[in-house]
Amino acid sequence: MTGDVMISLKNVSKVFDSAEGSAAVHDLSMDIVRGETVVLVGPSGCGKTTTMKMINRLVEPTSGEITVNGTDVMKQDPVELRRGIGYVIQSIGLMPHRTIAQNIATVPELLKWDATKVKQRVAELSDILELDEALLGRYPNELSGGQRQRVGVARALAVDPPVMLMDEPFGAVDPIVRERLQDQFLDLQDRLKKTIVFVTHDIDEAIKMADRIAILNRGGVIEQFASPEEILRSPANDFVKQFVGVERGLKRLALLKVSQIGIEEGPVVSPEAPIRDAERAMEKFDYDWCSVVEDGELLGWVDRESLGGCLTVAEAQARPFSAYVTHDSTLREALDSIVTSRTQVAVVASGGQRYVGILSLERISKEIIS
């Protein structure tokens, strides 16, 4: 990996003396680069939460070394260390007797910021996380699960820490709210560029959120540590293959962009052209339809049937495509467009209706196999 290392774990082990209910970690090493989101994922008992908690010393390693920003965590005051690391847990743990504003202001107040600065920061954070100002005076038990979740993130971001630890932060809300929170958080991360260690048991969430995924197995060992795309393309072993699950190909489609694969030219004809041109284009690509493009502008499509008895393509009344994809669309969206369209291809357009080309099922399939 390029870039400077923000969090480093070197041969870290954790052994619990008795049945403390926490999972052990065995000789684990990983470097986490500044600004990336690393998701620790694995079955229960794989030590993913233990690993995360060793970074802010909620759990102390039995052996090995952990550094954050170059400093050994064991050589720092744990309280100071934690105040510089954002922490979000599944149940959030807002203080029930404090208002939302007071909860968000927890760490600034511990650091003795003056009241004006605290107030300003709370306003800023509620703006960033789209928390209604009216909520600030309420108490945690008066908020919905999704709102509480966002307050938890706001609280963790309060002093703008460079590192965030998140333990199943979106685990306690329903799927619809979860997806919205994930999207919102990805947007936020695009702007804030925090170094994030994110724990989840949900491989789909990991694929969605991660720059890199570490798949852990029972006993606290890493089975594979790679980008989501790589894990889906070439799982390191049977455990990873099984954990990632079926539909590996489909999941990869969601990660790949249309711009990443070669777009085909496709049959194209101008509206002024004679019917013969349209027939030639169709023959060339072995399709029974053809895109109608005028000065680069996509008008729709015509097929042999609609062309019957016409002199020019324009007479045949091009039918509009039901959906387009763009360079930024995922291959999954392109696939959806393919299976739902009459022409059985995805039309790629840019900047409104500028024709770029087409994507066929064969083309996508070839990309996945390679």
Partner 1 sequence: MDQLTAVWEWFMMESTWRGSGIDPGILVRVYEHMSMSLQAVALAALLVLPIGLYIGHTRRWEFAAISIGNFGRALPSFGILGITFFITTALDVPGILGFWATFTALFLLAIPPILTNTYVGIKGVDADTIEAARGMGMTEREILTRLEIPLAAPLIVAGIRLATVQVVATATLGAVVAWGGLGRYIVDGLARGNDVLLLGGAILVALLAIVTEVAFGVLERIAAPRLTSQKKRVVAGSRSGQLGPAA
Residues that bind partner 1 (CB under 8 A): 56, 58, 79-84, 87, 89, 91-97, 99, 106-107, 110, 137-139, 141-142, 152, 155-156, 165
Per the listing, tokens 């989840």 go with 200
Report how far residue 150's alpha carbon sits from residue 134's, in angstroms, rounded to the nearest whole number.
Answer: 15
Report how far residue 13's alpha carbon sits from residue 50's, in angstroms, rounded to the nearest whole number.
Answer: 10
Instruction: State in angstroms the smallest separation of the CB of 124 from partner 1.
Output: 18
Instruction: State in angstroms the smallest separation of the CB of 336 from partner 1.
Output: 40
Instruction: State in angstroms the smallest separation of the CB of 138 from partner 1.
Output: 5
Those residues with Cβ within 8 angstroms of residue 164's Cβ, 6 or more apart along the chain or in another chain? 85, 86, 87, 88, 156, 157, 194, 195, 196, 197
DSSP assignments along 208-237, one per residue: HH-SEEEEEETTTEEEEEE-HHHHHHS-SS
- Nearer to partner 1 by C-beta: 101 or 268? 101
In 3D space, the residue among 235, 262, 227 whose CA is nearest the CA of residue 366 turns out to be 262
Distance of CA 17 to the CA centre of its chain: 37
Instruction: State in angstroms the smallest separation of the CB of 160 from partner 1.
Output: 14
276-304 burial code (b ≥16 CB/10 A, e <16) = ebbeebbeebebebbbbbeeeebbbbbbe
> What token pair was written down for 358?
């087409």
- Nearer to partner 1 by C-beta: 71 or 242? 71
- Nearer to partner 1 by C-beta: 118 or 364? 118
Instruction: State in angstroms the smallest separation of the CB of 48 from partner 1.
Output: 16
- Nearer to partner 1 by C-beta: 96 or 351? 96
Those residues with Cβ within 8 angstroms of residue 179's Cβ, 6 or more apart along the chain or in another chain? none
In 3D space, the residue among 232, 228, 258, 275 whose CA is nearest the CA of residue 323 turns out to be 258
Beta carbons of 270 and 302 less than 8 angstroms apart: no
Report how far residue 172's alpha carbon sits from residue 188's, in angstroms, rounded to the nearest whole number.
Answer: 20
Q: What 3-state class would DSSP assign to 352? A: coil
Instruction: State in angstroms the smallest separation of the CB of 81 from partner 1.
Output: 8
Instruction: State in angstroms the smallest separation of the CB of 359 from partner 1.
Output: 46
Beta carbons of 45 and 26 less than 8 angstroms apart: no
- Nearer to partner 1 by C-beta: 164 or 345? 164
- Nearer to partner 1 by C-beta: 58 or 177? 58
- Nearer to partner 1 by C-beta: 138 or 248? 138
- Nearer to partner 1 by C-beta: 70 or 96? 96
Q: What 3-state class would DSSP assign to 33? A: strand
- Nearer to partner 1 by C-beta: 150 or 208? 150
Dihedral of alpha carbons 269, 274, 280, 282, sign: positive
Instruction: State in angstroms the smallest separation of the CB of 238 from partner 1.
Output: 35
Instruction: State in angstroms the smallest separation of the CB of 168 from partner 1.
Output: 12
Instruction: State in angstroms the smallest separation of the CB of 139 from partner 1.
Output: 5
Edge-to-edge strands of the sheet including 25-33? 25-33, 5-14, 63-68, 71-72
